[in-house]
Structure 1
Amino acid sequence: MMINARKLILGTAAYTVCTFSLAVGWHVLLFQERYESFGYFEGEPDFLLGLLTIVLQGVLLSALFPMLKPVGTSFRRGIKFAFIAGAFFWTSHVLAFVARQKVPEVSAFIWMETAYLLVQFGLFGLILGVIYRGETQTDGRSNPGNEGGDA
């Protein structure tokens, strides 16, 4: 399967802008004191390394999406994929964080990060739906001519 370079770039850019903006807004601007109390930050955050990490995640997720074949309209497929990816990120990010260090108010941290990841991956799923608008999966076969199927 050939990856559509335009869609890969759009997906990567969308994931990067959405995720980086949300991460800075959520963790640094809105809830910085709360996350500091959780021990989430040690020293100053490295925004450049964070941005690079997010770009790499965007490339990988945007390349993986067209390889998977969930059934449904582009929006349903985008949401399904994003929530599966988000669940993986949740286990490797949220649960791993509380497993490797003592976090005061563990349940508050888990709830806040769960809400953050729901917003992050919900937005990404919707954006994937826009990027792949008009493509419907039925029984594992693509139907790119179904422009009206994504109401």
Structure 2
Amino acid sequence: MKRIISGTIVFIIISFAVQALSHFVINTEHYAQVPHMRPDDEVIFPLGFLTMILQGGVLTYMYPFFCKESPSWKNGLTYGFLMSLLFVSYPAFTEAGKYKVPDIVSWIAVEGTVGLIQFCLFGILLGTMHSRFRLHSPVS
């Protein structure tokens, strides 16, 4: 249980740092142009934290099944990359096709890049945690 809680906390920290940097510092103009976005003072942050808790817990739980033999930062990077393909495909592609985004190519580039960074960083840290603390068992 400690492993799942620790991994979830790492996921929350990485996700919040990467996504907040993207939304509120680097790509503010990009998001400001999206007509369906809530203004900053109306954003419902608890829903974002709930998503991070659920995703972080599930991803942390699943890592030992992916990498049974020798957890490492490299295996974590591979895991993070594969999980980014799964999780980032919705915001990058489906949202671009579903919502009136100002520029589809820009939307896919921003969402895809930021999501890839988020999940790959998480994978690296998760793999490192597992290799250092020998957290191989899914239930440890």
Output the TM-score relative to the length of structure 2.
0.83
Is 1:66 the counterpart of 2:56? The answer is: no
Q: Pick from 61, 83, 86: which aligns with 2:84?
A: 86
Show the counterpart of 1:42: 38
| Residue correspondences, number | 133
- Conserved? CA contact 2:4–2:60, under 8 Å: yes
Q: Pick from 97, 101, 104: which aligns with 2:95?
A: 97
Structure 1 segments unaligned to the other structure (5+ residues): 137-141, 143-151
- Conserved? CA contact 1:10–1:131, under 8 Å: no
Q: Pick from 23, 27, 34: which aligns with 1:27?
A: 23
Q: Which has the higher contact order (CA 8 A, sep 6+)?
A: 2
Deviation of the 1:7 alpha carbon = 1.6
Show the counterpart of 1:10: 6
- Conserved? CA contact 1:11–1:59, under 8 Å: yes
- Conserved? CA contact 2:96–2:104, under 8 Å: yes
- Conserved? CA contact 1:73–1:135, under 8 Å: no
Which has the larger Rg? 1
Deviation of the 1:67 alpha carbon = 1.9
Instruction: Report the Cα distance in structure 2 between the residues aligned to 1:25 and 1:17, rounded to whole angstroms.
Output: 12
Show the counterpart of 1:115: 113
Instruction: Report the Cα distance in structure 2 between the residues aligned to 1:116 and 1:52, rounded to whole angstroms.
Output: 19
Instruction: Report the Cα distance in structure 2 between the residues aligned to 1:93 and 1:23, rounded to whole angstroms.
Output: 13
Q: Any runs of at least 4 consecutive aligned residues in structure 1 with deviations exceeding 6 A, and if so which?
A: none
Structure 2 segments unaligned to the other structure (5+ residues): none
Higher helix residue share: 2
Structure 1 residues 125 and 60: alpha-carbon distance in aligned structure 2, compared to 1, 3 A threshold:
same
